[in-house]
Amino acid sequence: MSGLTVEGISHDWGARRALDDVSFAVEAGRFCALLGPNGAGKSTLFGMLTRLFTPRTGRIVVAGHDMALAPRAALARMGVVFQSSTLDLDLSVKRNLLYFAALHGLSGREAEVRSMAALDRLGMAERAGERTAKLNGGHRRRMEIARALLHRPEVLLLDEPTVGLDAASRAAITQHVHDLASQGLTVLWATHLVDEVRPGDRLVILHRGKVLADGEAGAIGGADLTTQFLAMTGEPA
């Protein structure tokens, strides 16, 4: 089994049910948008997927590895870009990546080669020597994605990766990650922005902890995904 599988995940925050029997599967090499308004449960689900906390019920399988039975193997095959930035702004772009590589047990020539290859994949190689603080928001996000690819994961998770970016930067980041999926990477992209979803994407709509729709975006949304999404979630336009 490859890709990402989520089966029957539920979670409560006190009296509030954050996730209610959430199930879906993302095929290997597919871009899947996890679309939902704020408070839908997307970040709670990402906490489960990254083992920040464990679900009481259900099952998560990453690239064939059950998160409960083999957590280290599952996490080793996963790259993550969290909503909040975790970059060291005082270090250069490359030094940030080399530090992260060391956390994965990579050093010397191997760390150097992987860091530059990851930056090149995101169009950031020419920025390697720049101080991270000097980068704009879009380039910092590309850098975080490059960092998440250092250990060559099979699955990439991104939690609201374009928050705070301008329209041009959002479009560029979205395109870069779609390109990664076309190269064989399995992607789960959490967002509340309908315009980041393409008709050919796999789409899971999450609202109030429940999956409302699961399938190809074009089939779910028809000619107007925005209108369909607002109708399903009851969110104001």
Query: Tokens 């095929």 correspond to what residue?
Result: 27
Which residues make beta-bridge pairs with 22? Answer: 9
Residues 14 and 122: their CA atoms lie apart, in Å, by 41
**Distances, alpha carbon 52 to alpha carbons 19, 46, 167, 214, in Å:** 15, 8, 31, 25
Alpha carbon distances (Å) from 160 to 120, 163, 173, 233: 23, 6, 11, 18
Q: Please, which pLDDT band fits residue 235 given cuts at 50, 70 and 90?
A: low
Instruction: Write the CA distances from 11 to 73, 98, 154, integer angstroms.
Output: 23, 36, 26
Q: Mean pLDDT, to the nearest integer, of 90-105?
A: 92
Q: Do the beta carbons of residue 154 and residue 141 sit within 8 Å?
A: no
pLDDT(16) > 50:
yes
Find the DSSP H helices in the chain: 42-49, 71-76, 93-103, 108-121, 137-148, 167-182, 217-221, 225-233
What average pLDDT is seen over the chain? 92
- Rounded to whole angstroms, what are the CA distances from 229 to 36, 178, 195? 9, 21, 11
- Tell whether the model's pLDDT for residue 237 goes beyond 50: no
pLDDT tens digits for 125-184? 999 999 999 999 999 999 999 999 999 999 999 999 998 888 998 999 999 999 999 999
Write the pLDDT tens digit of every residue in 33-44. Answer: 999 998 899 999
Cut 0.85: pTM above it: yes
Taking every pair of Cα atoms in the chain, the longest distance, rounded to a whole number of angstroms, is: 54
Q: Are 78 and 157 in contact (CB under 8 A)?
A: yes
pLDDT at residue 56, rounded to an integer: 83
Distance CA 55, CA 39 (A): 18
